[in-house]
């Protein structure tokens, strides 16, 4: 290979450093926003359940309201409905689908209203007993912070997307203290690419949030845990856990959207739906007070097996019903914390009957597998569970169960709980990532090297007669001046030039503008984009922009070839070795009959 080969493993330029620097600031601001959200939840919890103005951390389960506890979530739902109708409808829902929709279909632009109303509405929803987590709202709020900052700079939509995602996952890092899982969430769910231009800024934003978190919140893992390593029999239990969590994910997701459909059939404006959802939350909270609110303390008790099985069963049923109905009503809240609680609850119920591991292991395994199956992000779920507990012994069971749950939902569910919501708004999201076949090949591999050219000193009439008559072999030809490319001509260009009496030679058809060209080491994706932007069918390939020495030409039909090769790779079934049984079968098939 030539020493001057300029091809790189990754596309990168000096703008990457600029965006990374802005992302670091976004990470710091999102951390502060997360702290504000947590304090809002505490303030509203104290106001709604204890009628005091305080940001002291108190569980709504300790309230003494009696039957009046049913009214509290209804009041919260009324306030949220009013905020959504007269403030911004985008505060409804659990945050992550809205962030994805802004990324893919809104050029990553979010309004200042979201940055203010989303944490406020979520604080009210959770503070009034809503069975939600803070992570969904902070993902949307942090994303709004990143998007708003990006709107003050002259940057592309792709760069603004990076800042939006950086703010979103930095907020998640601040809430849970899980920077690596937050980066994986970005890769598996939000970025829709794996490139340095997005990965580096997002990673830096999460690192900044991780270092800033101990200055504002408690340091250390949220749910410290230590389990013992499982034996070989534990593999079977992990598979069972994965299937059970996949089934739970399917049940919760389908139930949620059936409830949402039922709310849609009500003869009431959607503004009133959160109040009706709040009624279900209030009844569930009266029956099982520990199902109210975020419930991080309950998750800790489940992971430590501090709750009796009967309590766990009622908690699991109440939490699931409250969460499905409340979220289906269109209120504001997140999904991660409820999934953690429901998964851990299922593990606490089934764990005593699973062989190959201690009972303390299974709530953690079920928690991660439920998250991985529901969100279709199994690697994120494994690392998330590990960072929450710092239990290295659980890594292999976590991976096995999360992979099985992921496979279960991929095979049986066309969309996840996140993408289903977006699909109902008319957008389909394809979440499989792969290297574009046009990125794998450069122009030199596909271009046509034998090119018929015209001399710029030739006349227009000669060109029309010799190259665009009955024996025309190509639709357009490159024109050279002293061996340097100056432009492309086709029949329309020549006929238009013929009407201009001053244009007699081909050279007269081209001005001083630099012609559109391609270089041999450019990727086919770059050239495909160039053809699309300029509405061209083909482009000449030159050695460099200075000499413009022609070495070939590449057309749209050439750019189809990588896709054809990819099709063969994925759809052509081939076997290169034969088993003894296969050889025997071939022998009898080849033997003459009779």
pLDDT in tens, 545-571: 888 999 999 988 888 888 777 777 777
Please report which confidence band the pLDDT of residue 582 belongs to, taking 50, 70 and 90 as the band edges: low
pTM as predicted: 0.83
- The SS3 call for residue 478 is strand
CATH 3.10.580.10 fits 443-559, yes or no: yes
Higher-pLDDT residue of 401, 455: 401
411 has pLDDT over 70: yes
pLDDT of residue 357: 77
Q: In which residue ranges of the chain is CATH 1.10.3080.10 found?
A: 15-216, 234-423
- What residues does 505 pair with on adjacent strands? 459
444-489 residue pLDDT tens: 888 989 888 888 888 888 888 888 877 777 888 898 988 889 888 8
Distance CA 410, CA 20 (A): 34
- pLDDT band for 6, please (50, 70, 90 cuts): low
- Read off the pLDDT of each residue in 233-237 and give the average, rounded to a whole number: 90
Q: Report the residue count for the chain.
A: 594
pLDDT of 502 above 60:
no
pLDDT score for 7: 67
> In sequence order, which residues have a C-beta less than 8 Å from that of residue 576 and are 6 or more positions away?
none
pLDDT at position 98 over 80: no
| pLDDT, tens digit (0-9, with 9 covering 90-100), for 420-444 | 888 887 887 877 777 778 888 889 8
Distance of alpha carbon 415 from alpha carbon 417, whole angstroms: 7
The whole-angstrom separation of Cα 216 and Cα 209 is 10
Q: What is the phi/psi pair of residue 293, to 5°?
A: 75, -165
Give 523's strand partners.
Answer: 442
Give the pLDDT band (50/70/90) at residue 275.
very high
- Asked if pLDDT for residue 3 goes beyond 70, the answer is no
Query: Percentage of the chain with pLDDT > 70?
Result: 95
Res. 583 pLDDT band, cuts 50 70 90: low
Q: Which pLDDT does position 371 carry in this prediction?
A: 93
What is d(CA 137, CA 149) in angstroms, rounded to the nearest whole number?
Answer: 18
Q: What is the pLDDT of residue 592?
A: 66
pLDDT: is 392 or 513 the higher one?
Answer: 392
DSSP reduced 3-state for 11: coil
What band does 1 get if pLDDT is binned at 50, 70 and 90? very low
pLDDT value, residue 467: 82
Question: How much is the pLDDT for 218?
Answer: 78
Tens digits of residue pLDDT in 133-159: 877 788 888 888 999 999 999 999 889
Q: Which CATH number fits domain 15-216: 3.40.50.1860, 1.10.540.10, 1.10.3080.10, 1.10.260.40?
A: 1.10.3080.10
What mean pLDDT is predicted for residues 328-350? Answer: 89
Tell me which CATH code domain 234-423 carries. 1.10.3080.10
- DSSP assignment of 309-356: HHHHHHHHHHHHHHHHHHHHTT-B-BSHHHHHHHHHHHHHHHGGG--S
CA dihedral 284, 290, 294, 300 (to 10 degrees): -140
Confidence at 5, pLDDT banded by 50, 70, 90: low
In our burial notation (b when 16+ CB lie closer than 10 A, e otherwise), range 328-356 reads bbbbbbbbbbbbbbbbbbbbbbbbeebee
Percent residues over pLDDT 90 in the chain:
44
Residue 485 backbone phi and psi in degrees, to 5: -70, 135
Q: Are strands 550-555 and 538-542 parallel, antiparallel or unpaired?
A: antiparallel
Output the CA torsion sign for 186, 191, 195, 201: negative
pLDDT at 354 over 50: yes
The 3-class secondary structure across 155-215, one letter per residue, is: CCHHHHHHHHHHHHHHHHHHHHCCHHHHHHHHHHHHCCCCCHHHHHHHHHHHHHHHHHHHH
**For residues 230 and 240, what is the distance between their CA atoms, to the nearest angstrom?**
15
Instruction: Tell whether the model's pLDDT for residue 372 goes beyond 90.
Output: yes
Per the CB < 8 A criterion, the answer to whether 150 and 159 are in contact is yes
> Is 591 a residue whose pLDDT tops 90?
no
Average pLDDT over residues 88-113: 81
pLDDT of 66 > 70? The answer is yes
Tell me where in the chain the CATH 3.10.580.10 domain(s) lie.
443-559
């Amino acid at each position: 290979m030539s020493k001057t080969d300029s091809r790189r493993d990754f596309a990168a330029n000096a703008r990457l450093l600029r965006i990374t620097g802005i992302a670091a600031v976004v990470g710091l601001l999102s951390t502060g926003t997360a702290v504000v959200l947590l304090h809002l939840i505490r303030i509203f919890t104290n106001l709604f359940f204890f009628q005091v103005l305080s940001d002291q951390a108190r569980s709504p389960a300790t309230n003494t309201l009696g039957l009046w506890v049913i009214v509290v979530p209804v009041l919260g739902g009324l306030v949220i409905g009013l905020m959504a109708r007269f403030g911004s409808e985008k505060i409804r829902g659990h945050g992550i689908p809205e962030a994805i929709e802004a990324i893919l279909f809104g050029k990553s632009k979010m309004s200042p209203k979201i940055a203010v109303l989303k944490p406020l509405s979520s604080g009210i929803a959770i503070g009034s007993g809503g069975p939600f987590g803070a992570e969904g709202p902070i993902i949307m709020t942090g994303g709004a912070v990143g998007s708003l900052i990006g709107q003050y700079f002259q940057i592309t939509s792709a760069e603004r997307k990076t800042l939006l995602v950086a703010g979103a996952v930095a907020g998640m890092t601040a809430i849970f203290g899980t920077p690596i899982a937050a980066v994986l969430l970005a890769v598996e769910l939000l970025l829709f690419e794996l490139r340095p231009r997005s990965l580096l800024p997002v990673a830096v934003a999460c690192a900044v949030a991780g270092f800033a978190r101990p200055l504002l919140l408690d340091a250390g893992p949220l749910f410290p845990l230590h389990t013992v390593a499982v034996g070989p029999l534990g593999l079977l239990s992990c598979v069972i856990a994965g299937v059970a969590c996949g089934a739970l994910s399917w049940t919760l997701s389908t139930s949620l959207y059936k409830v949402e459909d039922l709310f849609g059939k009500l003869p009431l404006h959607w503004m009133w739906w959160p109040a009706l959802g709040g009624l279900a939350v209030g009844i569930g909270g009266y029956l099982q007070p520990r199902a109210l609110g975020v419930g991080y303390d309950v998750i800790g008790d489940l992971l430590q097996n501090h709750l009796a099985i009967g309590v766990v069963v009622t908690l699991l049923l109440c939490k699931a019903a409250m969460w499905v109905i409340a979220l289906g009503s269109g209120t504001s809240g997140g999904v991660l914390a409820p999934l953690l609680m429901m998964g851990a609850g299922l593990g606490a119920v089934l764990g005593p009957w699973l062989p190959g591991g201690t009972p303390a292991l299974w709530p953690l395994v079920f928690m991660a597998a439920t998250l991985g199956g529901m969100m279709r992000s199994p690697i994120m779920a494994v690392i998330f569970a590990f960072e929450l507990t710092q239990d290295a012994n659980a890594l292999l069971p976590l991976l096995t169960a999360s992979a099985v749950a992921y496979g279960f939902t991929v095979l049986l569910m066309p969309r996840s709980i996140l993408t289903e919501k977006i699909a109902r708004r008319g957008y389909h999201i394809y979440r499989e990532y792969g290297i574009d076949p046009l990125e794998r090949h450069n122009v030199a591999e596909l271009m046509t090297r034998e090119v018929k050219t015209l001399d710029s000193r030739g006349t227009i009439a000669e060109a029309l007669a010799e190259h665009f008559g009955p024996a025309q072999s190509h639709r357009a030809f490159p024109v050279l001046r002293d061996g340097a490319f100056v432009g492309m001509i086709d029949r329309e260009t020549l006929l238009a030039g013929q009407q201009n009496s001053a244009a007699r030679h081909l050279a007269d058809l081209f001005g001083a503008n630099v012609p559109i060209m391609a270089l041999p080491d450019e990727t086919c994706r770059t050239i495909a984009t160039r053809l699309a932007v300029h509405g061209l069918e083909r482009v000449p390939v030159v050695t460099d922009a200075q000499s413009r020495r022609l070495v070939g030409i590449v057309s749209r039909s050439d750019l189809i070839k990588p896709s054809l090769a990819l099709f063969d790779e994925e759809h052509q079934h081939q076997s290169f070795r034969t088993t003894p049984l296969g050889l025997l079968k071939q022998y009898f098939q080849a033997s003459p009959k009779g």
